[in-house]
Amino acid sequence: MKQLLVVFLGGGMGSALRYFVSSAFVKNTFLSAPMGTFYANILGCFCLGIILNLFDKGQISENLRLLLAVGFCGGLTTFSTLIFEIGSIFQAESLLKASLALLLHLVFGLLAMYLGGKLAEVV
């Protein structure tokens, strides 16, 4: 039960930050895409890289991993909003722009997670 509460609390914090980030950024004119989701997903991937590296090295506990990786990063990043926004670009614009937006999310997300992990190795 404690683990569920830890994930719940982390998820609430991550979701609140996602709302703030999404509200703070406007659309990119080329992709016609809300950039807040992009920034929230990249930030979440970066944080996840740090958290998982620290957990693998035994520097954080299982409960802290649940709070931060599963809860916070899970609440901060959002697959359903990403798919909704990509679908909206596809319907309003073109398959090419939608594909480019999705590719940018994937490439930068993987890069951010990698860099977060590398940063945690140095610290």
Q: What is the pLDDT of residues 76-106, one digit of tens each?
A: 998 988 999 899 999 988 999 999 999 999 9
* Mean per-residue pLDDT over the chain, rounded: 92
Could you give the percent of the chain with pLDDT greater than 70? 94
Instruction: Tell me the residue type at 96.
Output: L
107 has pLDDT over 90: yes
Every domain of the chain and the residues it spans: 2-20+32-122
**CA-to-CA separations, 4 to 1, 46, 63, 65, 87, in angstroms, rounded:** 5, 24, 10, 12, 32
What pLDDT score was predicted for residue 83?
Answer: 92
pTM, rounded to two decimals: 0.88
| 32 pLDDT above the threshold of 70 | no
Q: Determine contact, residues 75/15, Cβ cutoff 8 Å.
A: yes
- Statement: residue 35 has pLDDT above 90: no
Give residue 25's pLDDT band: very low, low, confident or very high (50, 70, 90). Answer: confident
